[in-house]
Chains A and B, each alone.
Chain A
Amino acid sequence: MGKKIRSLLYMMIMAGGVVVLLTAVNRLPSSIQKGFARQYDSVEEAKRSLGFDNIFVPRYFPEGISWPPSFIFGQKEPYRAVVLEFREAKAGGTVLIVIQTSRRGSESQLQRTRLSELKEDTPYRLKGRIARLQVGTCDKGIPCSRISWQDRDLYFTVLFMSSPFELIRIAESMIQ
């Protein structure tokens, strides 16, 4: 084997060792403590594992979207956050995203589908709370709308791939 190839091989083995070490180091905290960012199988599991008193979920779903969420993400640190994603039964794509977080402005880090083009941005009164209603298009030019509001120490964002009428009903169903 040529010296150059042998050197390259040595380097690749050592770099591979670094990757393995990093992976092991990354897994260690989760085995010691719960509450780090991860995906959950159910809302109950997330609630129990994260130690949250409540995870707010909509009680109203437009036709074609049903319980349970297709994706559940939760974390306790560095800030409390839960993300629920719902798919449309027929098409199968994510159409509804519900985010609740304890940190203002963190929605952008939690939202996998983004409102790429904003057509309307208006304040809206949501069961006595001042909300912000945005209408525009999401990825691939699909019409979507988003509503955000604060309730005590939590910030809520609901994004729906449709007109704002159903979105408002979903958001209202989350407020007790």
Chain B
Amino acid sequence: MTDPLNQQLEHRSDGQRKMFSSSFSVICLLVSSLAIVVLATLLFSIFVTGGTWLNLEFLTASHRENNPEESGIGQAIVGSLVICSICGLVALPIGVGTAIFLEEFQPRRRILRMFHGLIQLNINNLAGVPSIVYGILGLTAFVYMFGAFHSIRINGQPDYEIGATYSYQVKTLGGQYVKFPARAKLQPTIEIQDSRTVTDSSGKRFKLNVFSPIDEESTLAKTRSKSVIRGTQAQLINREGADLYEAATIDGRSFTFPAKPTYSQFAKILEPITVTGPDGKSFELNVLSKSEAIPTDELVKARSVFADSPDPNKRSSASIFRENSFFHMHLPFSKSVLSAGLTLALVILPIVIIASQEAIRGVPQTLREAAFGMGATRWQVVRGAVLPSATPGIMTGAILAMSRAIGEAAPLLAVMGGVLGTTNHLSSLMDRTPVLPVTIFKWAGDENQGFEHLAAAAIIVLLAFLLMMNSVAILIRHRYEKKLA
């Protein structure tokens, strides 16, 4: 050996060399313990900031704008748990399946072996992809579905939908809300909100660009003939028996796209109709004209509206009201709990796969050979011998992956936006919900300093969840580690 370090050291005395060695070990210890100092400071500062704000009310209340005293994380906790469950239900079977395929079904043919290698390389690389990129993927693939289904978002009504009933709701003079079923109809005009595929007058189809008013207008002729400003009105026309919407690009080139029945936002009540009261009973609604006096009888009052009232509280214009059943679904998934769960599943999939692979590799080869010896097929070996003994390892990995999922904020911010609170409870997979990490993020960046304490309190709750999950993982590891050894 002739490297310079070697020669330097050769000229040192034994005592010096020993001194170097031991002082290096002291430096090492100091540097390593910095990690402990950092962790202690972090936990300390969070507990000091948020500890006193942690109470039962905080755990159950929901976010209030500009009012940190009454805000809480009730909805966020539920949201986080629901999204993590979806994520786990999707990622675990797929992840474990992939791991089994990679570990136990190694093919002999060359081309299949290359396929195997490709998937393995791909998984290792996916583990290094930033989570925000998964967020963008979730936005494109689940929220907008690559633009394959265009939605006219002005009424919030997707083209393909099940499990939703639309009705109109109106407040009677007696202050009760009554509703009556809405019938889909075509609106004479709609506003174009999303890019979509349209047909021009010569029958050619092209993808329409939609620019927001804040973006400057496109200047190049090529783009201008394919662009509209967001909110451009499209007129309902009927051509050869088909209902179409027609509008023009910035360039004045007219185009059409098929009209789907939509409910209008408001319905005017001009004649008596049958409605359903808050108690669920149907009755005929009285419609009074403006000149008539308000009825004195309470029951009649509760069953009357003015046909045209100047007072907005007594307005006779009924507004659209959607009730979602628990199985409410639509395409695309838009910004919903389902999109969020699926996106998170993609984020943790590589982690689940790698952890499961390691667990499966840890199963002694003798177990497999014994099972093969009894005439089992490869799958029977996997099911009967490999999986049962790999389960604790897989479970540990799965829990650790879930604890990654529950703290992940960036992908959720991408697919659900920064929701802090919703008026309705989470009732179906198509709803949006606040989640813990995003709530912490929004609160930490809030200008109202009071939310700083809330963010810290929410962090304590999040850390408590993580601690719980990890304790379970450690417990499983310890319990079963001895059995196999």
Partners in one complex: no
Residue ranges of B at the interface with A (Cβ–Cβ < 8 Å): none
Residue ranges of A at the interface with B (Cβ–Cβ < 8 Å): none
